[in-house]
Chains A and B, each alone.
Chain A
Amino acid sequence: MLKTLRLSFALRNTYRVNAILYGVRQIPLVKKILPETLYRIQAFKIIANILTVCWEVLWVFLGKILYVAVMIAGAASLYDWLPTDQVFLHILLFLTVIGSFANTGLFNPTRDKYYAMILLRMDAREYSLVHYGYMLIRTVVGFLPVCLIFGRANGVALWLCLLIPFSVAGIKAAVAGWTLYDYERRGVAYNENKLKKWTWALMALLLACAYGLPLLSVLLPVWLIAGVLIACIPAGAVGLIKVFSFGQYRQVNQELLAQLFSQQDLVKKKASDSVKKAISSDMALTSHRSGFEGLNELFIKRHRRILWRAAIRITVVFGLLVVAAVIAIGFISDREAVKMINRTVQTRLPYFVFIMYAINRGSGFTTALFVNCDQSLLTYSFFKEPANILRLFRIRLREIIKINALPALVIGAGLDLILYASGGTKYPVYYAVLVVSVVCMSLFFSVHYLTIYYLLQPYNIGTEIRSGTYRLVLIVTYVVCFAMIQIQLPLFAFGLSCIAFCVLYMVLSCLAVYRFAGKTFRLRL
């Protein structure tokens, strides 16, 4: 048993360490510094090993802290008119029941299990039991301090706080035992990552009970919760007997691990298929234009569903929100509240950087361009001629600007309407600044996504992203846009600087594309 534990940890660590080293090598510049023989260098392995062990230990507590702090204690604090300890226990019980079948630890096909049991042919029973035991110990050890701290802070009795970790482990073991029994009976392997419809429905029902019932001031009595938690212990013991006596771990795991790969392939296949299927078969969609304009027109017409539908939906939703907001302002009798809305519109324009980031179609547009057009055409020499690349870049830029401009115009005009309805401003130029800055943000994202696509072309022929720099740029874009949420600036100052920045960025990006895209717009190998 100990040997299995040691071996499986060594295996898991090896692939985690290699994954870390691979990830580090994806960072631009770092790749050039670090040699390819990195995987052989012992010092790096030791550092990465220490990191993974730290992470393993930290995660025992960190995961539980996050879970209890946000999902249970945090949520419980929202129902401040109800007894805190009772809400805490009420939510905890329902979530624990969900966790018992959605997070079993035993029926979760993962790569390390595949490597160990299938590729290296380790004893499936021993491997499963060792890992299951380890998972249960982690559950108890991780939950014990967290439940004591958060439970006591919420007024839960000490004995209950001490009981909870064992009950959580108990209910998991009970469900695991029952599921193994069910496998023997029906031969169906339960996969916690591929839940059936009824399981999802059950989960939704339990969530509704956890968070919905307290809204109606309905809570399970503490004695009932305590009773269920106590009952979990003997139930868990019975479950463990089944877990230890079960003899078909190899079959179950083989079935689950076969699903793991079909599942992952399916996700990949679905992602590219959904773009491929998006080609309209309507042969009435034709073009009378020639050359690249014709190519573009056919592309846009035959992919209308994926290129335009989301933009139109977003426009409609924002249009309705604006109408609703303007009507609501008319009904608000509290002048202070209306003034607050007016102030918000005038100082919260930076927030719209994030909103425009979230709704812009740049990423979807470039994915569709690659999967359905450039993936194939980039293998033809004529398509890679710099003059042709630039000609098509201009046409595509025009198209993505059109797609993103529609919701931007509605949002900009909507903000003007809300500003006006909430008392307006004494500077009429503000209305113009508001619309123009939102439109500029949309222009910025259009240019940004198309530029990084042309300058970094991240995909290989199998439509996988192979560029660390591209990923990094996407992350930085997200972080910067997210950070803008925190900023409050006067409308005029932010609006003007935003417009200036967007114009400057667009000019520089287009120059960069004109200068470099002829060389960079290639298939990744």
Chain B
Amino acid sequence: MKDRFQVVIDHLQKHYGEKEVLRDISFTFEQGQIYGLLGRNGAGKTTLFNCLNRDIRSDGGAFYLQEGGKRRPLGTRDIGYVPSTPTVPEFLTGREFLKFFLEINPHTGCDPAHMDEYFAYMSIAPEDRDKLLRDYSHGMKNKMQMLINIIAKPPLLLLDEPLTSLDVVVAEEIKQLLRREKEDRIIIFSTHIMDLALDLCDRIVLLSHGVLETVEKSDLGQEAFRERIIAALREEDHA
């Protein structure tokens, strides 16, 4: 049986001028889990994602992938990042974008001949597959972006408030998809919507004062758990 992997963040730091956004982040994320990342506005959720995605340089610490006792740095291919606003190359059709992606990423093992199956998997209708992405709706663009990130099979998938502006049907479809896809990867899901986090995520992680901490559900009921999270977030004000 293949070893399960973890993403380990070790004393990660990032500051802007004198403001320490990520003070000392140390955390281990486990394969097969969806993590709900909660934090107040400006707590540093997007900064954490940007550091992991190497869009900005961190000021200290490290993060790596650990599997079977071996460590290796997280490479570009190991991370999928879905920002809150879907971004797709608008001059391509959905099919052309997927074809382009598969051609330059043969390591995914996905067969370009089966493109229609992938579209169907994401509930992208046949009549939309050959339309320019410019003419896709917000929800369809989001699905397209999600499809590329799922086919790429990165061990770590970062989702920055991806469901916030989707209609209820598309949001539900994406939720189902994430549940199906979580087994082979780690999904970190940043959101402001508590119900969504409680509904979808296996673990709730708070980012406050520049550190990450888990909120243990223990044997609490849903309502009590929710109150515990809000209390933890409120504490920030009085810290």
Contact = CB atoms under 8 A, between A and B. Distances in A.
Q: Do A and B bind each other?
A: yes
Contacts of A384: 76
B63 to A, nearest CB: 15
Chain A at the B interface: mostly helix, strand, loop or mixed? helix
A280 B44 CA distance: 40
A226 interface: no
Given A276-B90, A279-B90, A525-B56, A382 B16 contact: no
A217 interface: no
Given A382-B77, A382-B152, A522-B54, 16 more contacts: A283-B93, A291-B100, A294-B99, A294-B103, A295-B92, A302-B91, A303-B91, A372-B89, A372-B91, A373-B89, A373-B91, A376-B90, A380-B149, A384-B76, A525-B50, A525-B55
B103 A36 contact: no
A37 interface: yes
A193 interface: no
Interface stretch (B29-37, B78-86, B187-195, B230-238): B78-86
22 contacts: A35-B17, A37-B17, A279-B90, A290-B99, A291-B104, A294-B96, A298-B91, A375-B87, A376-B87, A376-B89, A377-B89, A379-B87, A379-B145, A380-B81, A381-B53, A381-B154, A382-B101, A384-B76, A385-B76, A385-B77, A523-B55, A525-B55
A281 interface: yes
Given A35-B17, A279-B134, A381-B152, A376 B55 contact: no
Interface of B: 16-18, 50, 53-56, 76-81, 83, 85, 87-93, 96, 99-101, 103-105, 130, 132, 134, 145, 148-149, 152, 154
A461 B149 CA distance: 19
Contact of B79 (A302, A372, A381): A381
A373 B91 CA distance: 8
A107 B83 CA distance: 42
A381 B87 contact: no
Contacts of A375: 87
A363 B188 CA distance: 38
Interface in A473-525: 522-523, 525
Interface residues of A, number: 32
Nearest to A280: B91
A388 B152 CA distance: 15
Contacts of B88: 376
B231 to A, nearest CB: 32
A299 B91 contact: yes
Interface string A282-312: 0100000011101100110011000000000
Given A291-B103, A388-B104, A36 B18 contact: yes
A382 B76 contact: yes
Contacts of B50: 525
A375 B79 CA distance: 18
A276 B18 CA distance: 39
